[in-house]
Amino acid sequence: MAQRDHEPAATPRRSRAGRTGGSGPLDEYRRRRDPRRTPEPVPAGPLPRGDDDTFVIQEHHARRLHWDLRLERGGVLASWAVPRGLPADPGVNRLAVHTEDHPVEYATFSGEIPTGEYGAGTMTIWDRGTYRTEEWTEHKVTVELRGERVAGRYALFATDGRNWLVRRLDPPSDPDRVPVPDTVAPMLATRQARLPRPAEAYRYEVDWGGERAIGFVASGRLRLAGADGTDLTDRRVSRAAEALGATEAVLDGELVTLDGAPVYVVSDLLHLDGADLTGRPQEERWALLDRLPLTGGCQLAPRFDDGLAVRDAARERGLPGVLAKRRDAPYRPGERSTAWKRVPV
Ligand code: MN
């Protein structure tokens, strides 16, 4: 969680939201960093003068993935760590932990903060641009962000000490955006004794005999739901979704145990970043799925053109069978479809 990477200062801060007070606005920033150990900028000297209109959002793969929102204000970057990232839709409040002011030089920083240092991990620039201030008080900040990925009005407001909330005030930037569904009933296969024909209309996967699970990916977290909606989320598996960053996706797959560890074997992609893919042909869904960086406890299900070879391999390994999937078929949630055949060995 972000709080672990941004521990509260030893002494309570009185300045907030970029308002400079006391000794120096970057004192806390400097106190937490040794310029000999971190590649982060640690500038000395007076604060630069700017137009209070630059913003940056950094994706920070630290102890826990979070996004750092920084707004240039009064010669520093007022900063919040947002564990789930900025919401794309209005009506959702997300935690934004107010953190120490950063130097304006930080707006172009990306790199590796070494293990053992404050905020250790990888920092990349997720978005950058300009912003316009609508309101800026000690407890509330309303801005309009004009970035490449984020464009719109956002309100940040203090709730409890360093804990703020952030919400989007505008409708989503993409009017065609479909919100990620909360539940999806998995499509089911028709059972049959022989491999289907014509063979080339299908591709083949191993039936792992695991637990069917729909995976909901958002903010680098993976929630797994069983066919009946039971929560199957496993922390060891969900951490793997951090590699997906801000990608929003709905996956279909099986939760299996390999070498004693749970692995989510992913075979289909039903939703990607605001687009419903269920009506698209299987081949197209696979092509998009193949581009996702699945790692660790999240693995891509291997698929093959030769059904007979998969059946032989399954038999050899004592696995239940083969799944044959038509290359041109849409995904029909909750339906038992003839486009998918389950062939036991
Ligand atoms: Mn951070």
Output the CA 245–ligand 1 centroid distance in Å: 14
For 110-116, what is the mean pLDDT?
96
Of 44 and 222, the structure prediction assigns the larger pLDDT to 222
| pLDDT of 123 higher than 60 | yes
Output the CA 181–ligand 1 centroid distance in Å: 29
* Cβ atoms 124, 245 nearer than 8 A: no
Output the CA 266–ligand 1 centroid distance in Å: 30
Kindly report the average pLDDT of the chain as a whole number.
Answer: 92
pLDDT per position as a tens digit, 280-293: 999 999 999 999 99
Output the CA 101–ligand 1 centroid distance in Å: 12
Task: Please give the pLDDT value at position 174.
Answer: 86
Nearest 5°: the CA angle 34, 38, 43 is 65
The rounded distance, in Å, linking the Cα atoms of 340 and 16 is: 57
Q: What element of type H or E holds 288?
A: helix 282-290
Q: Residue 269's closest CA among 253, 257, 245?
A: 253
Output the CA 60–ligand 1 centroid distance in Å: 5
Output the CA 265–ligand 1 centroid distance in Å: 31
Nearest 5°: the CA angle 199, 201, 205 is 75
Task: Please give the pLDDT value at position 13.
Answer: 42
| pLDDT of 22 higher than 70 | no
Output the CA 222–ligand 1 centroid distance in Å: 21
For 160-166, what is the mean pLDDT?
96
The rounded distance, in Å, linking the Cα atoms of 76 and 64 is: 25
Of 271 and 19, the structure prediction assigns the larger pLDDT to 271
* Cβ atoms 225, 183 nearer than 8 A: yes
Locate 17 and state its tokens: 């939201």
pLDDT per position as a tens digit, 198-234: 999 999 999 999 999 999 999 999 999 999 999 999 9
Q: Residue 340's closest CA among 192, 159, 233, 180?
A: 192
Output the CA 125–ligand 1 centroid distance in Å: 11
Task: Please name the residues in contact with 59: beta carbons below 8 A apart, sequence gap of 6 or more.
Answer: 65, 67, 123, 124, 125, 126, 245, 246
For 27-54, what is the mean pLDDT?
93
Task: Please give the pLDDT value at position 18.
Answer: 42
Output the CA 66–ligand 1 centroid distance in Å: 6
CB neighbours of residue 269 within 10 Å: 26
* Residue matched to tokens 């059946």: 311
118 by DSSP, 3-state: which? coil
Q: Residue 50's closest CA among 5, 107, 88?
A: 107
Task: Please give the pLDDT value at position 80.
Answer: 98
The rounded distance, in Å, linking the Cα atoms of 341 and 195 is: 8
* Cβ atoms 162, 82 nearer than 8 A: no
pLDDT per position as a tens digit, 170-191: 998 888 889 889 999 999 999 9
Locate 221 and state its tokens: 């977290």
For 69-73, what is the mean pLDDT?
98
Of 17 and 301, the structure prediction assigns the larger pLDDT to 301
**Chain centroid, CA 317 distance in Å:** 35
CB neighbours of residue 105 within 10 Å: 13
Residue 328 identity = D
Phi, psi of 4 (to 5 degrees): -70, -25
* Per-residue confidence band for 7, with pLDDT thresholds at 50, 70 and 90: very low
Output the CA 334–ligand 1 centroid distance in Å: 41
Output the CA 301–ligand 1 centroid distance in Å: 33
Buried b (16+ CB within 10 A) or exposed e, 145-163: bebeebebbbbbbbeeebe
The rounded distance, in Å, linking the Cα atoms of 89 and 310 is: 44
Locate 46 and state its tokens: 């007076």
Output the CA 81–ligand 1 centroid distance in Å: 6
Output the CA 61–ligand 1 centroid distance in Å: 8
Output the CA 39–ligand 1 centroid distance in Å: 14
Output the CA 289–ligand 1 centroid distance in Å: 29
**Chain centroid, CA 271 distance in Å:** 14
For the chain, what percent of residues have pLDDT higher than 90? 86
Which pTM value belongs to this model?
Answer: 0.87
| pLDDT of 2 higher than 70 | no
Output the CA 162–ligand 1 centroid distance in Å: 14
Output the CA 73–ligand 1 centroid distance in Å: 18
Buried b (16+ CB within 10 A) or exposed e, 191-209: eeeebbeeeeebbbbbbbe
| pLDDT of 296 higher than 70 | yes
6 by DSSP, 3-state: which? coil
- Burial class of residue 321 (count of CB atoms within 10 Å of its CB; 0-12, 13-18, 19+): buried
